[in-house]
Chains A and B, each alone.
Chain A
Amino acid sequence: MNTAKAAASADKSVNDTSEQYLTFMLAGEEYGVDILRVQEIKGWDKVTRIPHTADYVLGVINLRGAVVPILDLRRRFGLETIDFGPTTVVIVVRVGGGRDERTVGMVVDAVSEVYNVDAADTKPPPDVCGSVDTVFVKALATIEEKMLILLDIDRLIGNSIADELVAGAAAA
């Protein structure tokens, strides 16, 4: 995390408008999250299920003493589910800030790369953007002739948990 931060800030001194993104694969599409939000990447492990929650909340795990919820991004985006394989990983991110800061894990098919994305190379998302609700998409970027979908992680996780409140209330 610290080295990532250092790398990012060193990079910033070269080019102010460029940001680093960690990318991961989900059903053949490549998504990116701001690397400064990524706390760690860990392998998939058994979770403890929580009752009265939406299907994309797989459960909670023990992350060095903290109880951290794990969301399945495929289910979250309404994609077809697959069996978790050797490349399946959990990307642990920190969202929100101050008192509302949360640590949440997201299950994805595989991690891909770390890219420097220049703000000039990004475009606002079109109204229809693959399988993902566009409110969660910050921008699209083209890197090495590939399209990256840059996610607004705060909104994605924030909404997921807020929706959960509604879903949970309905279930109760």
Chain B
Amino acid sequence: MTIDPDMAEIAKVFFQESREGLDVMESGLLSLGATADGESINTIFRAAHSIKGGSATFGFGEVAAFTHGVETLLDEMRNGVRPVTAEAIQTLLQSCDCLREMIAATEAEQPLDQDRIATLNGDLKNILGERPHDAPVPVPTAAASIEAAANTEAAGWRIAFAPVADLLRLRNEPTRMFAELRRLGAFVARADVSRIPPLDALDPESCYLSWDIEITGQIPRPKLDEVFDWVDSGCRLEISSIGNSAAVESEQAGPPPEAQPGATQAAPPSQVERAPPASAPVQKASGDSGSIRVATEKLDNIINLVGELLITQSMLSGFADGIDPNELDRLRQGLSQLARNTRELQESVMQIRMLPISFAFNRFPRIVHDLSRKLSKKVELKLTGEGTELDKTVLEKISDPLVHLVRNALDHGLETPEQRTAAGKPETGTIELGAFHEGGNIIIEVRDDGAGLNKAKILRKARERGLVPMDQDLTDEQIDNLIFMPGFSTADQISDVSGRGVGMDVVRRNINDLGGHVQISSKEGRGSTIRIRLPLTLAILDGQLVRVGKEVYIISLLAIVETIQVERERVNTLAGRTEVFRLREEYLPVVKLCDQFGVEPDSRSAEDGLLVVVEADGKRVGVLVDDLLAQQQVVIKSLESNFKSVSGIAGATILGDGTVALIIDVPDLIRSAAKSGSGAVAAHAA
């Protein structure tokens, strides 16, 4: 069905809620595997029930019918009639997937995957068909009852509609209902104006009218219900078919529509006894309480404003140094209070964007469950630090790389139960996914107790592919981190789970794009640990201000390893052009910002300036600047919004004096340095 534009907004909420409901069902089902208590089945049931009710309300009959099958099975499990078997859980999980697709297809107004629905419906029926010995009378499947309802048609309907006075204030609009009715068929409406008070007592926002409507045509009853779905609370609504006066159904002061069992909406008027509505206490699926939905755009707006406030405040502080000394103290006091307030305001606004990492972690029980079945491995997944919060954007972008890492750990890391027993390890492997804060960063660790990386094999492959020169010796850590090189895979066999050799490099690139680092450490036979370090937010950056000539640039503190004064004897020239600097055992290429950005510096020779050693993608270079200025938190502004992206520049910010300073894109700078360098010394691998 096509959705009325006015309804589309509400339907959107339904789609969102359904997805959340499905997540609840899925996590519930996965925890059922271990313990089958009544309350967790209840939670799953309620989620399914809400989806069914909602989809019926919006006229998504197929979704409602399918959910009904799921619900029936859950109901029997809840009542203890049906045992909770692994097979049933598997079917229910697949049904969740199928429902997710159905909802997505419905939202996109695309056709549903009928084959899959039919197959799963068959599976559900099969499970339901295996009646236990003391089975009660079979519950009719919704597919049947809804079809029955849809087929019940009459020559016409008589509708008596007497809304409450609050109708308009409740944001319902009778004209919209009439417009909807007109789409169904021709009708005659008589308005009862007897309740309209004299003009001086008339409240323009109240509804005093009631209507008597006769509509003709072969209209299915659910279509009529749909029209009046949103007004039933407190209104008198009687719908009777013309020529069938016996069946009168009235709905008075009904519960709010979303809480109504779908069966009610689908009930045909002639049906004397209604299908017994599921006896579940009607409750909203318990989600995170006290949360609101806010468009990210609005939040970003506030964040920008707060950023500006911060700028104004630091501008005022700058002024304070040059005015009347008598007034100065009070002004200083006021300013320091303003500084404190803005800082606090900024922190709390930034908090709004922060979400617990459980949003990303919640997918993993399911992924691990499915994969371990497919690979016939026994795995226990441990999640820690799910409450650790990070920025929504970072969270969204880290999900896929994490999935990749966990899959890899399961596929390549963990051994089969037989191999594990042979190695004297417990049959069940462990994958640990943990998150915690560490000094303004968030650390995510993926740890497995599997076979670990085969260092000899990795080194051999890397040499075969020319990624590492034959004569170069690498430390264990360096060898492990080779797996992040592009085009590297040690898997002998390519499975459909992982091992195509695209992946780890993509994972690293994604993480670097977020301004983070990834590292792996592993012990052969004991397992591997992958450690991801990410900034908490993308909107604010801890920056080091550096000066080159008259220009000020900002380098992210996260990228800076150290800053050193340059001694002449440690700078060497390669091929007469490229300068390298010896830092302990490494030779670092020297990148002169003045040349990169075409700025006139104080001095071109390295020993007059300072060398800021920066690292990205596991490579280090020394960036030559004239001077180091302050360290401060800066609000990142995009250059693209009014201009375009510029190579070597990650963005811009506004300093306390109101001028714009550019933020250096360290990974990009290192890449272009490697390109423009002689090639003999590409940036040294760390």
A positions within 8 Å CB-CB of B: 46-53, 57, 59-62, 64-69, 102-104, 161, 164-165, 168, 171-172
Contact = CB atoms under 8 A, between A and B. Distances in A.
Contacts of B308: 64-65
A68 B647 contact: no
B472 interface: no
A62 B660 contact: yes
B676 to A, nearest CB: 10
Chain A CB within 10 Å, residue with most, of B308, B638, B643, B662: B643
A67 B654 contact: yes
A168 B646 contact: yes
B654 to A, nearest CB: 5
In the complex, the 4 A-B pairs of residues with the closest C-beta atoms, listed nearest first? A51-B597, A172-B647, A48-B660, A65-B308
B98 interface: no
Contacts of A161: 643-644
B304 interface: yes
Contacts of A62: 654, 658-660
A102 B658 contact: no
Nearest to A64: B308
B660 A51 contact: no
Interface in B632-661: 637-639, 641-644, 646-649, 652, 654, 658-661
B643 A65 contact: no
A48 B660 CA distance: 6
B652 A51 contact: no
Interface of B: 304-305, 307-308, 311, 551, 596-599, 637-639, 641-644, 646-649, 652, 654, 658-662, 672
A62 B642 CA distance: 12
Contact of B642 (A47, A51, A102, A164): A102
Contacts of A172: 647-648, 672
6 contacts: A46-B659, A60-B639, A60-B660, A67-B639, A172-B647, A172-B648
Contacts of B596: 51
A57 B644 CA distance: 12
B662 A50 contact: yes
Contacts, number: 79
Nearest to B311: A65
The interface residues of chain B, by DSSP majority, are classed as mixed
B677 to A, nearest CB: 15
A51 B643 CA distance: 13
B496 to A, nearest CB: 38
Given A48-B662, A52-B648, A62-B658, A67 B311 contact: no
Given A51-B596, A60-B639, A103-B642, A65 B307 contact: yes
Contacts of A52: 597, 646-648
A66 B641 contact: yes
A6 B404 CA distance: 57
B643 to A, nearest CB: 4
A104 B642 contact: yes
Kindly name the residue among A49, A60, A103 whose own CB sees the greatest number of chain B CB atoms within 10 A: A60
Given A60-B639, A65-B637, A172-B647, 17 more contacts: A48-B660, A50-B639, A50-B662, A51-B597, A51-B649, A52-B647, A53-B646, A59-B660, A60-B660, A64-B308, A65-B307, A65-B311, A67-B637, A67-B638, A67-B660, A164-B644, A165-B644
Nearest to B657: A62
A45 B436 CA distance: 46
Contact of B598 (A51, A67, A103): A51
A66 B659 CA distance: 11
Contacts of A59: 660
A64 to B, nearest CB: 7
A164 B643 CA distance: 9
Contact of B647 (A47, A66, A168): A168
